[in-house]
Amino acid sequence: MINNYFLLALFLFLNLITTVIRTGLMNVRYAHLISLREKGVKNTERTIELVTKRAKTRSSLRLTQSILRFLMAVLALSMIEPGENIYLSTSIILTLVGTAIIIWLSEFIVERAILRDPEIWAVRMTPLAILFIQFLSPILALPLYLSKSGETRNLVTITENELIDLVDASQRAGEIEKDESEMIHSVFQFGDTMAREIMVPRVDILSLNVNTNLEEAADALLESGFSRVPVYEGQIDNIIGFLYTKDMVNVWRSGNGISSLQDLLRPAKFIPETKKVDELLDEMQAARVHIAIVVDEYGGVAGLVTLEDIIEEIFGEIQDEYDDMEEELFQEVGPSEYLLDGRIPLEEINELLGTNIPTEGADTLGGLIFNRIGRVPTKGETVLEDNVSLTVEALNERRIHKVRVKIEPPDETNSQENEQKG
């Protein structure tokens, strides 16, 4: 009887060990394994091999646990003596149920503990897992072949953040280039980007009054280099359509006598400023349009967005022959000192400079300064955000054109804040 109890405890212990291995290996996050490998953690490479051979690993561990559970049930039943209880069937049922509860409860507790850090446990238990697989390989060879469970079939599912970690690790290891890594990051951020974050703001829109004569409209198009220009009636908030350069050219070629812009307009597409960029791309592709007017919550024109703006969100700035080559949005002018365009989004600044400028309440650098000062600033005014000083360098009427950004050491920033308060 004592030997039976010892064997039962041994089988339960082996079953728990198998549970540790299975829970660890089947729940690892691949990006975390790559990170452990970079840190030189022992056995990580062998763990990655086991994870990539997911079908064989899972089958081996399941078979091991099935055998151990069966042995525990048989052993528990063998400990019942027929002569000591007339209710033999009840004893058998209670024994099986009790054994099942003990197995389930112990496995549940172990699984909860392992899931807190499955990668570490998977790496630790890799040598034992390899022993199990090698021992059971002959038994599993035929079932694996018949089930066509390719060993290279999908790994465990990983989250978006884990995939980004994997991309960053690959960049550090030199497996992918920096621009490729940035493009992948842009793809993940694409679905969270709203139209207002990439639009040309209202103040930068070149628009034409519907009463503009054709000659003046043609001059404006040629001077700007734009292929499409919004046309309004009365005020810019009342956009009635788009004027296409190619339509103007066709009019001149045909000489059909059209004298009003109204006759050349194409319908305008309007979108809310909160429209997600990925949805907008689908809509523009379906409608075969390249430009849309962005409206705010009150129905006024907030800006416009083009297909080029959307594409640049993934691939970066696309410079064409009509873009101003001399105008730089970002210039490094000294150690930890930069000259930035006021239109640059705050999120992009934080990404480029590694800063933590708050993005609540404003989308752009100029917008942040306006919010902090509460009026139209003057040249030379400075706003402090943590260890970053933002100084207005140039204005275009009421718009902040250039801002000098200087990243200060924390002590120096604190002294500047005290001086301002004094």
Go through the domains of the chain in sequence order and give each one's CATH number: 2-158 (no CATH), 195-315 (3.10.580.10), 330-421 (3.30.465.10)
Distance (Å, whole) CA 165 – CA 289: 36
pLDDT value for 152: 44
Distance (Å, whole) CA 252 – CA 249: 5
Question: Each residue's pLDDT tens digit in the chain (422 positions)?
Answer: 557 777 878 888 888 888 888 788 777 776 677 777 777 788 788 888 777 776 667 777 777 778 878 887 777 777 766 555 545 556 666 666 776 787 777 778 877 887 778 888 888 888 888 887 777 667 766 665 665 544 444 444 566 666 777 777 777 777 778 777 777 777 777 778 889 888 888 888 899 999 988 888 888 888 888 889 999 999 999 999 999 988 888 877 776 667 788 888 999 999 999 999 889 988 988 888 999 999 998 889 999 999 888 888 777 666 555 555 445 677 888 888 899 988 888 888 888 888 888 888 788 888 889 888 888 888 899 998 878 999 999 887 778 889 999 988 765 545 554 555 44
Distance (Å, whole) CA 78 – CA 57: 32
pLDDT value for 164: 74
The gap from C-alpha 273 to its chain's centroid, in whole angstroms, comes to 21
pLDDT value for 147: 56
pLDDT value for 149: 47
pLDDT value for 268: 93
Distance (Å, whole) CA 163 – CA 9: 42
pTM beyond 0.75: no
Q: Is the dihedral of CA 80, 83, 87, 88 positive or negative?
A: positive
Half-sphere exposure of 306 (CA within 13 A, CB side): 13
User: Torsion-angle region of residue 170: left (phi > 0), alpha (psi -120 to 50) or beta?
Assistant: alpha
The residues, any chain, with a CB within 8 Å of residue 25's CB and separated by 6 or more, are 47, 50, 51, 57, 61, 118, 122, 125, 129
The residues, any chain, with a CB within 8 Å of residue 244's CB and separated by 6 or more, are 227, 228, 264, 266
C-alpha closest to that of 293 among 375, 237, 374: 237
pLDDT value for 198: 86
Which residues on adjacent β-strands are paired with residue 385? 388
pLDDT value for 140: 64
pLDDT value for 318: 62
Tell me the one-letter amino acid at 28. V
